[in-house]
Structure 1
Amino acid sequence: MLRRAVDSTTMRSVGYQAQDRVLEIEFDSGAVYQYLGVPARIYEQLLRAESKGRYFNSEIRESYPYIQVNRARAAGS
């Protein structure tokens, strides 16, 4: 999935696959998660949010099932 870089202290990039309603987030740690069943409006609001981390915590984190695509990088890697 293609992701776009975002200006955030917690996230590096965000992508969305509309057909399957999958939101993919790469966090600053390097970990990548896919959130399932996410409406397009949530993705769009995340991109527009002044604080993407705060929006993620309040609207996405506990609201949608997720899978971890890859693990965070080890310190010093």
Structure 2
Amino acid sequence: MDRKNISSTMIRSIGYDVDTSTLEIEFNTGAVWQYYDLPESDWHQFDGSASQGKYFHASIKGHFREAQVG
């Protein structure tokens, strides 16, 4: 999945696959996680958020199926 680098204290890069509704996050630790069945509208809110880290903790972590993939 293609990811774009972002400026965040906890997240290095983010990407979204519209066909599978999968969000992929590479954290600054190097770990890569995928979050499944994330609506495209949530992706746009996350991508456009002033703080992706805060949005991640409030609206993604614990709300979607997830798996570490890297």
TM over 0.5: yes
User: Partner of 1:4 in structure 2?
Assistant: 4
- Where in structure 1 are there 5+ consecutive unaligned residues? 71-77
Amino acid at match of 1:30: G
Distance 2:19 2:60 in 1: 19
Amino acid at match of 1:10: M
- Structure 1 residue 43: Cα displacement: 1.1
Q: How does 1:1-40 map to 2 (within 5 A)?
A: 1-40=1-40
Large movers: runs of 4+ above 4 Å: none
Amino acid at match of 2:67: I
User: TM-score when scaled to structure 2?
Assistant: 0.96
- Where in structure 2 are there 5+ consecutive unaligned residues? none
Q: Deviations over 1:11-62 (max 9, x none)?
A: 0000000010000000010000000000111111111111111100000001
Amino acid at match of 1:27: F
User: TM-score when scaled to structure 1?
Assistant: 0.88
SS at 1:25 equivalent = strand
Contact 1:6-1:47 within 8 A present in 2 as well: no
| Aligned-residue identity in percent | 39
- 1:44 and 2:44 aligned: yes
Superposed CA RMSD in Å reads 0.6
Distance 1:55 1:21 in 2: 18
